[in-house]
Amino acid sequence: MTKWEYCALGALKSGTLSEIKGHYPKLIFFSEDGSKDYDVEHVNDWKPKEESVVKAIAWLGNEGWEMVTSSPVGGNTIGDSTRYTYLFFKRPKP
């Protein structure tokens, strides 16, 4: 049976492509021991930030990660309509 490892590219501001590309997201890796997250800004020196989301998705694909779903989060508190999207990826464990 195949065993999987999972990660997420998170805190993507929902909106137009230019809004999504306008900030640094988080890259989160999940394991039995918990999760570790990294600011994409500090991974592989992906700058400028306008391209960090695009570069992160391409890097994950090159590393064997397959996107399996996305999920919107946020926008439920009074006075805060900001919504974020998380992209979830998986790949077979080595």
pLDDT, tens digit only, all 94 positions of the chain: 999 999 998 866 655 555 555 556 788 899 999 988 887 765 555 555 567 777 888 889 999 999 999 888 765 655 666 677 889 999 999 8
What is the length of the chain?
A: 94
Domain ranges within the chain, ordered by starting residue: 4-90
Residue 22 near residue 29, CB atoms below 8 Å: no
The helix or strand, by DSSP H or E, that contains position 84, with its residue range, turns out to be strand 83-92
The helix or strand, by DSSP H or E, that contains position 56, with its residue range, turns out to be helix 52-62
The whole-model pTM stands at 0.75
Say what the pLDDT of residue 57 is.
87
Residue 49 near residue 22, CB atoms below 8 Å: yes
Output the six-digit token pair for 42.
Answer: 């500090």
* SS3 at position 17: helix
